[in-house]
Structure 1
Amino acid sequence: MRIMPASKFSLKREVEYGSPEQNESVRRIIEEVRRDGDAALRRFAQQFDGVRVDELRVTKEEIEAAYNEVDEEFLSAIRAAAVNIRKFHEKQMRSSWMDLQADGTILGQVIRPLRRVGLYVPGGKAAYPSSVLMNAIPAQVAGVPEIVMVTPPATAGAVGINPHILVAAAEAGVGEIYRVGGAQAVAALAYGTESIRAADKIVGPGNIYVALAKRYVFGAVDIDSIAGPSEIVVLADDSADPAYVAADLLSQAEHDEMASAILITTSEPLAEAVRAEVERQLNELPRREIAARSIRDYGAILTVSDLEEGIDAVNRLAPEHLEIIVREPFQYLSRIENAGAIFLGPYSSEPVGDYFAGPNHVLPTNGTARFSSPLNVDDFIKKSSVIYYSKEALLRDGGQIISLARHEGLDAHARAIQIRLEKEGNTRG
């Protein structure tokens, strides 16, 4: 890994907009699904997945059979994780409210869940049961009555779905599942087909074609985000264990060749020890080629004169994951302005949050932690303002409303108030 002063480092990674060919391919797929519905979904399943799909919907029997294909250790872990995730997100719940004022006016806000949410889940090698929980449970906690999941076949040439994905979905309360993936699945969720009714929002990760499809349909349907490669920044002083730091950096590097793993430290000896430890641990990883490419292209060790300079660097990078491994980590928490998830202390390794603790692991990437948040219950609700204006309030405030409307050149707005003032004002007393 490169070692350099933090002041000389910038993470340059262009936002992935796809090639013209990829964008055109996505556009064509979406338009074909809009036109041909289920027939297009089956056609693309044959073309991209090498499978003939007669029945798009996964049956209850398939879901039940999946439980026989996973071991008890996995089942116990996924159930415990689901409990933690649910408890955490239940604390995010909001309530509708009404404010009754002295003149009889009532102002308020009504909160309702979205009616139907679509969850995209990658299949094959990129199958992540934990992401099923992280996307489905907040929606369920929010009160979304219909959660539908789409996921491609587990392997080319077979119509079966990864059993761990099916079990995770069942444990999260998702019973409507379809064996369809790629941009065509996003199109089905956005516009609907004969078998799959359209959703109000699409969430969940996917490859570049899924990301481009989500961006294409945004507006017809809401989406969570366009996620970029994973990121981790570790802020550490000389108290940090280099083996822990190296392991945590590699935990993100193994995701993707474009993932970034960065150490910011006040300690030159720690910097050298972590660099050596990363090289040693790389050789033990099954995904070492991916991790090595990530470390080479997007990894770095940044040295700073003190933790204050280190915090400034953190806020500039706005990482998806931030670990603070220093003597008094809580002392610096209030200074962190930009980070998706903050892990404090040597035992709060990033995978604790990825899988089990309860906070959501769907986090802002590409520096968007400057203005966005982890996936949460608010992503699955909508708010309506409530306005009940009393006669007394309108007679009092009507002149000011008319003034504002006329200054904007909207005479009909002004007249809508004026007509009431003229009629109701004459009836007073």
Structure 2
Amino acid sequence: MKLHVPTLIARKREGETLDPAEIRLLIEGYTSGEIPDYQMSAFAMAVFFRGMEPAETAALTKAMMESGDVFQHRAGHPAVVDKHSTGGIGNKVSLILAPLVACTGVWVPMVSGRGLGITGGTLDKLESIPGFKVGITIPEAQDLLEKIGVVMMGQTDRFCPADKKLYSLRDVSGTVPSIPLITASIMSKKLAESLDELVLDVKYGTGAFMKTEKEAHALADSLIAVGREMGVEVHAVLNPMSEPLGRAVGNSLEVIESLECLEGGGPEDLRKLVLDLAEKISPVSRGELEKLLDDGSARRKFDEIVAAHGGDPSDLPRLAVIHHAPVIREFPAPDTGTIVRVDAGMVGQAAVQLGAGRARATDGIDHAVGFDRFVKVGEHIHQGNPLCRIHARTAVDFEIAEAMLEKAIRIEP
């Protein structure tokens, strides 16, 4: 079958439903370089305006997934499960959920991404642990699944190359906020892990990509439909991202908070979300999952992950010393009253300003900077008491972050 790309673009522009074979040839041609960026941009824009039927989105997902290597699990393997979040501020759930769920006898082949814009990335957080290597091959990952039941790695060059190429194109062509394209991007990477079950943490609010609950519902429905088309059980949990999750934002600071949760403590909202998601893909009850956090099992599994990826678990209690920002100061409350808003989007922007995130994919990351001991909405505060602690590289960075937080936090008498 020979594909005439201009005709395909025109048909999608007019709202026609494309055949799975046509979509596969389009993705194969684009991945190989035979189809140029300008034609793929036009196709992405046509999808942006016209959308896709669930079968089309599934065909796009499958073609992108099969553009590179996929996990091949041995016969008789345990259930293979994973979790994906659509982003957020202070969202360190993966660091806790992966070891916790791996304690229940399933396999967790977690392929994660880096932070971009205000959204933090799991890989950046893991790399704040000295020696932690996220760049491993799929055969190495499969070996770790056999040994410890869990792996936390980055996307290899041979893992969904079509997604990597198309995502970069969408970023510069104004087609990022398209539900079929978002769905195919997320699900191609997750389904390349050859999963039996997937739980999705779909965020909405100021600190999320989807700003409204209605948009989040539409994305969740699309993700579930594609999972169903491809024979994977998908659960979606909608969660607001109007304030940061937990009390820490920033790479090493979020790892420190994750360790608290893995030891049975940590912020209540973080623990609840981890359990809400974990119980969807675990063969054990919520009560048993709570025990695994409280008795140290999940923490011991995290130590195994760190050691297996080249780190030293004995460094974990020393992270605050290893990544010690030069300027660490409290941000005092200007008034007495109740916290009614901690704007997650603004907090994320302040974290990027400090150097905890990246504006461009090529930017570096400062693992030491960020915020901790953050107040939560609904708490009462006295004038002069700390709203949070700011970890900055310089006094000027501190002052800029403080000014941004003044706009992000609202206190009412």
Give the TM-score of the pair, scaled to structure 2.
0.32
Larger radius of gyration: 1
